[in-house]
Amino acid sequence: MNNMTEILFFSSIIAPIVMALVEVIKKAVPAPVNLIPFIALVVGVIVGAAAYPFSDLDLTMRLWSGGLAGLAGTGLFELVKQRDSYSKEDEY
């Protein structure tokens, strides 16, 4: 496998873990909504770095995987979250 394939494979494995940790943080600590993607990015990088015993990837590749997993976890949560309103209300 080439490097990018390994990064994407590893990030898809840790994305649900990162998403769950971000949800725990959101419930435990009141944070502004616009900081949630940054928090997810940081949590993803930390989880990627901490996954040393489970992967034979280099540290930089694990950090990239963690960052991608953090941003993907945020996007995944926003995709499945039920919303009643739109981002911009139509004025008719």
> What pLDDT does residue 29 have?
87
Helices then strands, each counted (H, E), the chain: 3, 0
φ, ψ (nearest 5 deg) of residue 78? -65, -30
Domain locations in the chain as residue ranges: 3-80
Q: Which residues contact 12 (CB under 8 A, 6 or more apart)?
A: 69, 72
Residues of the chain below pLDDT 50: 87, 92
Quote the pTM value: 0.76
Q: Report the C-alpha gap between 29 and 37 in whole angstroms.
A: 15
Quickly count: other Cβ atoms within 10 Å of residue 86's Cβ: 7
> What pLDDT does residue 2 have?
81
> What pLDDT does residue 43 have?
93
